[in-house]
Amino acid sequence: MVALPGTMCSPAVFGPLGEALAGQVTVDPFSWLTMPGPWDIPAVADGLARHIGQRYGRPVLLCGHSTGGAIALQLAASRPAAVRGLVLADTGAHMRGHGDVDAILARIKADWGEELRAAVLDRSFHVPPSPQARTAFLEWAAPLSQQAVYDVLASQRDLDLTSQLAGITQPAVVVHGRHDRARDPDQGRELAAALPSAQFRLLETGHTPVYEDPGSVADAVLDVLSRASAR
């Protein structure tokens, strides 16, 4: 399973999920934000398709968190043969109602630095990670390209995949944290309702259930894998 983190989110956020799935599903975190540009969602999805083709040569499960979920949806819509199933965490087909995206974009332009990266990180968890994990996440994000972060978030803000969701027929589970401060759970319900083969699961987490409740997300992964295998 190729795992796609959110913007400014370290691929290490999938570590607990990898442990929960050990011996059953291999989790391959894909550091899309450190790839060469361009960094709009369709271009990143194209890069992901190349990664899947070169490394696996067959369709894979995708687990997309936040912006990573938008990338997963883009790939499933544009290159369905590359995607076996989807686990989508705290994401959506659009960013309407994502209350702080314009404020974040303005701060990226005017006030790029650790204070901003820490604010985005901290609002992403209902139960904060350990001080050691938090430091590691911030150290990973420190060398990120300011332009890359701005471009991908601006692209996601302007993207609306709603009209393409009916054509994404792969088995899917949408998981969403009840305490998400970035996206209301109703946005997760809306996404699941629009996907023909999706289920919705509400978890007692913040914006990052892949880290906060890896056991429940692992159950979702195994459910998608079972349904994909049956098909």
Q: What is the pLDDT of residues 3-40, one digit of tens each?
A: 999 999 999 999 999 999 999 999 999 999 999 999 99
Helix (H, G, I), strand (E, B) or coil at 168: coil
Arithmetic mean of pLDDT, 162-166: 97
26-47 burial string, b = 16+ CB within 10 Å, else e? Answer: ebbbbebbebeeebbbebbbbb
Q: How many CB atoms lie within 10 A of CB 221?
A: 26
Q: What is the pLDDT of residue 83?
A: 98
Q: What is the pLDDT of residue 209?
A: 98
Give the residue numbers spanning the domain of 176: 2-230
What's the pLDDT band for 231 if we cut at 50, 70, 90?
A: confident
d(CA 94, CA 223): 25
Smallest CA-to-CA distance from 187 within 103, 84, 69 is with: 69
What's the pLDDT band for 101 if we cut at 50, 70, 90?
A: confident
Total domains, the chain: 1
Arithmetic mean of pLDDT, 131-152: 97
Number of helical (H) and strand (E) elements in the chain, helices listed first? 10, 6
Q: What is the pLDDT of residue 100?
A: 76
Arithmetic mean of pLDDT, 146-171: 97
pLDDT in tens, 43-93: 999 999 999 999 999 999 999 999 999 999 999 999 999 999 999 999 999
CATH number at residue 219: 3.40.50.1820
C-alpha triplet 86, 25, 181: angle, nearest 5°? 50
